[in-house]
Amino acid sequence: MTDEGRPDGGNPDQRERDRDDEDRRDERRLERRFADAESVAAAEPVSPRTVFRWSVAAALGVVVVYLGYRAVYTIRDVLVQVIIAMFIAVSLDPLVRWMVSKRLKRGYAVLIIFVAILIFIGGLLMLLIPPLVHQSGGLTTDFPGYLDKLREHSPSLKSLEDRFHLQGKINDLARTLPSKIGKQALGFGQRFLGAVVSALLVIVLTIYFMLDLPRLRRGFVRLFPKRHRRTVNDAVNVVVDKVGSYMIGNLIISLIAGTASFIAFEALRIPFALPLAVFVAITDLIPMIGAALGAVVCVIVAFATTDLWPNTVVLAVFFLLYQQLENYLIAPRVLRNSVEIPAVAVLLAALVGGSVLGLIGALIAIPVAAAVKVIATPMIRARDQETGETTLNGDAGE
């Protein structure tokens, strides 16, 4: 009989229920087969032949695991790049979806975002590279003369050298440093080209992931049984939203930190204001220690290039006050839509991520830990409610 001749008239909901019933019957048959196989295996006497089969199966399992490990280890660099690209795509997805909600096609939204990022990076490089090349060129050709000028402009550095008798050692280092830098220039150039190629690959992968992220999410959800797909889909949506809001919020906080630092450097007339501000913005992305690291480096540079009072002291006070402002006012407001996780969890996640993937791992670990909390919290609450209901039912039975 065709669907038109059935009483339900070929109702799609009824067909879906029939397929679900058929799937459940198949699962029950499979469970019975496994149970029968286990009962047969339990009833089978242990003989040398049985032990040999178990040994062969165990050896094959070890070989498969080892081959999988070797395969992953061989392509570990590519896997790291894929993970980084996927993470960047997930982080930018809330911004893409916001632009899509304004009736803009996803491809155009991705194009606008990357053009804006390229313009920002290009402008930043145009501001940074010419002075850095000029200063680094003069530094390598006349490093001892640069130190003499630095001593003239920094009484603090001269007094420190006189107190600890460091002038001779610093002069010896100044004479040998340019030759050491020249010998290592080739290796640095090779590493730099490799980093550029890796960055281009990550950019291309990120673009593809951003364009196909909805399809990838649907494909990931379809890997799970039908009865779990809605829960998995909700969890994926929450994770993407929280990870994206965390990363975009972190970028905004870092931009504010770099801008405020640049204003402070210019007001105190500290050299290399723009490179130091960029350095502060980058280090501010590092969890836990990034802000302190950027502040310490900037204070050292100020101490070496300007007077101790008031420039260096005022700069140190500025960083102390700004960190309190960022921790208690800026960050809570910017990250109000992200997941709050304990400081111990942040530290542990950063340590584990840093040991696995270095600086990139430390940056990725925090939102990953937040995503784990997003998924685990409803499960723990559901288990607590189930335990509470069981306890209440038991008390009522007594």
Structure confidence by residue, pLDDT tens digits, 227-243: 888 888 877 877 777 77
Tokens read off for 91: 């982080």
Cβ-based neighbours of 236, under 8 Å, separated by 6 or more = 217, 220, 221
89 close to 206: Cβ distance less than 8 angstroms: yes
Rounded to whole angstroms, how far apart are CA atoms 131 and 121? 16
338 close to 249: Cβ distance less than 8 angstroms: yes
What global pTM score does this model have? 0.63
CA 13 to chain centre: 42
| The pLDDT of residue 4 | 45
157 close to 303: Cβ distance less than 8 angstroms: yes
Q: Which residue has tokens 């050709």?
A: 141
CA 96 to chain centre: 19
For 83, other C-beta atoms within 10 Å of its C-beta total: 16
Rounded to whole angstroms, how far apart are CA atoms 2 and 7? 11
| The pLDDT of residue 269 | 86
| The pLDDT of residue 146 | 57
Rounded to whole angstroms, how far apart are CA atoms 26 and 281? 57
Structure confidence by residue, pLDDT tens digits, 175-198: 665 566 555 656 666 676 777 788
Helix, strand or coil, per DSSP, at residue 398 = coil
Q: Where are the alpha helices (DSSP H) in 142-270?
A: 143-153, 155-164, 167-183, 185-222, 226-267
Q: 230: burial class by Cβ within 10 Å (0-12, 13-18, 19+)?
A: exposed
Rounded to whole angstroms, how far apart are CA atoms 186 and 197? 17
| The pLDDT of residue 372 | 76
Residues of the chain under the 50 pLDDT cut:
1-9, 139
Q: List b or e across 45-74, with b for residues whose CB sees 16 or more CB atoms inside 10 angstroms.
A: eeeeeeeeeeeeeeeeeeeeeeeeeeeeee
Rounded to whole angstroms, how far apart are CA atoms 227 and 24? 11
| The pLDDT of residue 8 | 47
338 close to 245: Cβ distance less than 8 angstroms: yes
Cβ-based neighbours of 214, under 8 Å, separated by 6 or more = 106
Rounded to whole angstroms, how far apart are CA atoms 9 and 20? 18
| The pLDDT of residue 6 | 47
